[in-house]
């Protein structure tokens, strides 16, 4: 309904994210997530390598050659990150939708944290930290090489960026391997402080588990996923990544 749409938009404008609970239950129709995205101005989907033909990813345990080795398609935990941090800077992910068809029997929860809150807390601690994190070479993700073939080149860029329309974007992964930080003392301190924010519970940290028919709509906020165990029905989450930001939300 229009009232439900307006409420979700209000929450997203306040916290960059909202959880919805629909009546679709275990319905696996992808039109649910596509139509919801369209209502919020999300149109340009990221056709990433492991996504389905319609550019929406089916996050479930998959062991085929294409998906094997990529943690989202396993039952392992995923550390703090924003989606698409390994994309080039012209194809960053600004909008993200998750829709649960089947939850895991055990585990599979998500932690959520608004990246604008993180930016403000770092700025309050030391503005030089923000300048270091906004350096164009701050964080590099090495090339993705499989069997001697380069699937994706190395990608460098800032952690925080402010776009021409004034909105704040964050590009981050909490991984400790396959990542290279610019050699700079201030940046090292900034990253340590950033990690301390992520790993210290606060009133801005949210935790929840999407159940069947529920979903997350957000401006690509920081999030995690705990490890999980499947029951008779494997966990299935649809993920849609967009180059668009949610319409109607003002800049920082």
pLDDT in tens, the chain (252 residues): 888 889 999 999 999 999 999 888 888 889 999 999 999 999 999 998 888 889 999 999 987 756 667 888 999 999 999 999 999 999 999 999 999 999 999 999 999 999 999 999 999 999 999 999 999 999 999 998 888 889 899 999 999 999 999 999 999 999 888 899 999 999 999 999 999 999 999 999 999 999 999 999 999 999 999 999 999 999 999 999 999 999 877 665
Spell out the residues 6+ positions from residue 15 whose beta carbon is closer than 8 angstroms to its own. Answer: 114
What pLDDT does 227 receive? 97
The residue range of the domain holding 33 is: 2-242
247 part of a folded domain = no
For residues 90-108, b (16+ Cβ closer than 10 Å) or e, as one string? eebbbbbbbbbbbbbeebb
Give the domain CATH number at 17: 3.60.130.10
| Within-domain flag for 248 | no
Please state the domain count of the chain.
Answer: 1
In a domain, 250, yes or no: no
Is position 249 within any domain?
no
CA neighbor of 191 nearest in space, from 127, 117, 148, 132: 132
What pLDDT does residue 57 have? 94
Q: How many CB atoms lie within 10 A of CB 221?
A: 22
pTM for the structure as a whole:
0.94
């Amino acid at each position: 309904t229009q009232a439900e749409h307006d409420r979700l938009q209000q929450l997203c404008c306040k916290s960059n994210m909202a959880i919805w609970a629909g009546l679709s239950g275990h319905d696996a129709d992808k039109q649910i997530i596509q139509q919801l995205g369209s209502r919020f101005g999300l149109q340009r989907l990221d056709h990433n390598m492991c996504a389905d033909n319609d550019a929406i990813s089916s996050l479930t345990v998959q062991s085929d050659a294409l998906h094997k080795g990529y943690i989202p398609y396993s039952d392992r935990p995923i550390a703090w990150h924003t989606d698409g941090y390994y994309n080039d800077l012209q194809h960053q992910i600004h909008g993200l939708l998750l829709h649960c068809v089947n939850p895991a029997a055990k585990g599979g929860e998500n932690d959520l944290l608004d990246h604008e809150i993180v930016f403000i807390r770092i700025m309050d601690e030391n503005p030089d930290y923000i300048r270091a994190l906004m350096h164009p070479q701050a964080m590099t993700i090495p090339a993705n090489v499989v069997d001697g073939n380069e699937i994706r080149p190395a990608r460098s860029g800032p952690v925080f960026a402010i776009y021409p329309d004034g909105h704040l974007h964050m590009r981050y992964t909490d991984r400790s391997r396959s990542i290279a930080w610019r050699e700079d003392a201030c940046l090292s301190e900034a990253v340590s402080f950033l990690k301390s924010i992520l790993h210290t519970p606060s009133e801005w940290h949210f935790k929840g588990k999407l159940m069947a028919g529920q979903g997350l709509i957000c401006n690509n906020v920081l999030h995690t996923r705990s490890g999980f165990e499947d029951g008779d029905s494997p966990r299935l989450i649809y993920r849609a990544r967009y180059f668009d930001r949610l319409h109607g939300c003002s800049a920082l």
